Structure formats: structure tokens, C-alpha cells
Amino acid sequence: MKMTRGERIFSVFNIIFMCVLNFIMLAPMLYVLTLSIMPEHIISQHNHELLLPIPKYITLESYRYIFAGNSQLIHAYSVTAFLVIVGTAINIVFTMLMAYPLSKTDLKGRTAVMLYVFITMLIGGGLIPTYLVVKATGLIDSLWALIIPNLISPWYMIIMRNFFAALPQELLEAAMMDGAGEFTILWRIVVPLSIPVIATMSLFYGVGYWNNFFGVLIYINSPSKWTLQPFLRQVLIEASPRLLQESGALQEMLKAPPPMEQVKMATIMAATVPILVIYPFVQKYFVKGVMIGSVKG
């Protein structure tokens, strides 16, 4: 189709605008990356105006420091990894178990259960009553306090239910004819057909654990159970890099730790990069997963 003059001008401006937008989205991240790998004197020489690193000065000293020896960062990583893997798996299983029966339009009582869920989406108890329930169920200072109280997200459950309802029902019925039970059908037929929505929901739940800051702040008391975000927050408000290393570890490094600014920037990157790495792989699924699931049903 031929474009008119006006359309061509619009198109050019649109592309320029998008380039500016991409730059705005990337700039803060690039800047912090640069600060984490440039020596302090180079940064001050350039009056903090370095957006891109100068290759010949690149140093990984701060990264070596935060990962070395008995590193608190690695400890926080492992706690977070436990939550992301175990927590997400549990969330997905229970979300599916709820979404699957509710995807059957002829199931008696379905409307009542949906109403039961819907009410909780409209109104919640708020911070203190929720805290008291978590406390009463004995979860304070346990990592389960970050998993069980958020077992099923109503939103994600509904998206999953809609996705299941949009699957070709003849397939499920044919399996039932062959004598397969509902659990078999769910596991053998529904799950393999629902990879886009399962991948998307896993990403959402997983990122939720990765990014959880407030939950850890209120429910977890022992610093040994801290995940990445509270740890990062502590590093950001700390003045000295010593907190990152247990005493006794790597004495020679402790005598001359890298500048705190650099260590902070490296810790930010360390908390960001795993998401940047996983993101492109899941990204191709989530538009599809969310779109099919969010068709109003």
C-alpha cells in the first residue's frame, strides 16, 4: 500500500520516538553497568558523565569482591533460588489444580467458587490482619511465609482457567472415552498443550519471588534467611563494603576493599542480570499466554 506524505512523516517521527524510548529504557541500566566496571578515578575524571564504559579501563574488581569466598551475596542467591524453584513449582501446581475444574463450564458450583475468589479480589484484609493470620499459622521467620500465603494468585488462576477453557475440548473428551481419569488428562493432555500459559505464569510467580522485598522485611527476622532484595537494599544504604564478606574470609581483600560505590553498582547488576538472562527465553511465550488467557470469560 502506498503511503501518503503525511503518513510517511508520521512514520519517521514514530521511529525516532521509539529510538528515544529505547534509549530511555536502557540508559539507567547502562549507566549503572558502567559505574560497576569503571575505576573510581576515571568516573570522577569524567564528572560522572560516563554512560558507556571505556574498554581499556574496565575492571572486574568489585565483582570479584562480592562473589569471593564466604560471600553473603552467594548465600542470598541460594535462598532466593530455593524460593524461585520450589515456590514457583508449588504455585503452578495449585493454580492448575484450581483452574482446571473451573475451566469446565458445566461443572456444578463453578459460579459459586468463582464468586468466592472474586470477592477476595475486590477486598482484602490489609497489612495487619494478614500479618496476624501468617503469625497464627506459625510461619513467621520461615521461608514458607513467602510461599503459602500467596499460594494461588486469583488473577493468574483466572488467566490459566481461560486458557484451559480455550483448549480443544474434543481432545479431552476423547481421552475420557479411553478411560483416562481427570488427573491423567490434566497431566498428559492439558499440561503439554498449555506450555505458553504455564511458562508465563511461572515467569510471573518466579519474578515475584526474585523481587520480593516487603514480604521478607516483615515475615523474616533472621538475616541468614534473607533473599536478594533485602540484601541489596542493605548494601545500598551501607557505607562500607565490609558487610558483604564474613569476617575471616579473604583477609587480603578485606584490607583493601574496592570503593563502596562500585560494590553497590556491582550488587545491583548481580541482582538484575539473572532476570535479563531468563527474560528473552520466556518472553516469546508470554504475549501468547496472556492474550489467550485474558479473553473475557
Partner 1 sequence: MNLPPNIPLAVPVKRSAESVAEAPRTFRQEFRKRRLLYLMLIPAIIYFFIYRYLPLFGVLVAFTDYDIIGGVFKSPWVGLKYFRMLFADPYFWRVLRNTLIISIYKLVWGFPAPIILALLFNELRSQNFKRVTQSLSYLPNFLSWVILYGLFYQFLYRSGLVNNVIIKPLLGHPIDFFGDSRYFRSLLVITDVWKNVGWGTIIYLAALAGINPELYEAASIDGAGKWKQALHITLPGIRSVISITLILSMGGILRAGFEQVLLMQNPLVFDVGDIIDTFTYRVGLVDQNYSYSAAVGLFQSVTGMLLVLGVNRVTKQMGQEGIW
Cα distance between residue 63 and residue 55, in whole Å: 16
Closest CB to partner 1 among residues 254, 260: 260
Q: Is 281 in the site for partner 1 (CB under 8 A)?
A: no
Q: How far is the CB of 235 from partner 1 (least distance, A)?
A: 9
Q: Is 16 in the site for partner 1 (CB under 8 A)?
A: no
Cα distance between residue 266 and residue 65, in whole Å: 9
Site for partner 1 in 56-95 (CB under 8 A): 94
Q: List, in sequence order, every residue forming a beta bridge with 245; answer none if it has no partner.
A: 71
CB 64 within 8 A of CB 73: no
Q: Is 264 in the site for partner 1 (CB under 8 A)?
A: yes
Q: Which three cell numbers stand for residue 232?
A: 541489596
Q: Is 17 in the site for partner 1 (CB under 8 A)?
A: yes
Span from 48-56, 57-65, 188-196, 243-251 in contact with partner 1 (CB under 8 A): 48-56
Which residues make Cβ contacts (< 8 Å) with residue 231, sequence separation at least 6?
72, 73, 76, 267
Closest CB to partner 1 among residues 19, 195: 19
Q: How far is the CB of 251 from partner 1 (least distance, A)?
A: 29
CB 83 within 8 A of CB 147: yes
Q: Would you list the DSSP string of 135-203?
A: HHTT-TTSGGGGTGGGS--HHHHHHHHHHHHTS-HHHHHHHHHTT--HHHHIIIIIHHHTHHHHHHHHH
CB 92 within 8 A of CB 205: yes
Q: Is 287 in the site for partner 1 (CB under 8 A)?
A: yes
| Site pattern 93..112 for partner 1 (x: CB under 8 A) | -x--xx-xxx-x-xxxx---
One of 12, 18, 85, 195 touching partner 1 (CB under 8 A)? 18
Q: Is 233 in the site for partner 1 (CB under 8 A)?
A: yes
Span from 54-62, 80-88, 190-198, 273-281 in contact with partner 1 (CB under 8 A): 273-281
Closest CB to partner 1 among residues 143, 254: 143
Cα distance between residue 71 and residue 74, in whole Å: 5
CB 187 within 8 A of CB 128: no
CB 228 within 8 A of CB 210: yes
Site for partner 1 in 123-152 (CB under 8 A): 123-134, 136-137, 148-152
Span from 3-11, 52-60, 75-83, 158-166 in contact with partner 1 (CB under 8 A): 3-11
CB 92 within 8 A of CB 198: yes
| Site pattern 164..203 for partner 1 (x: CB under 8 A) | ------x--xx-xx---xxx--x-----------------
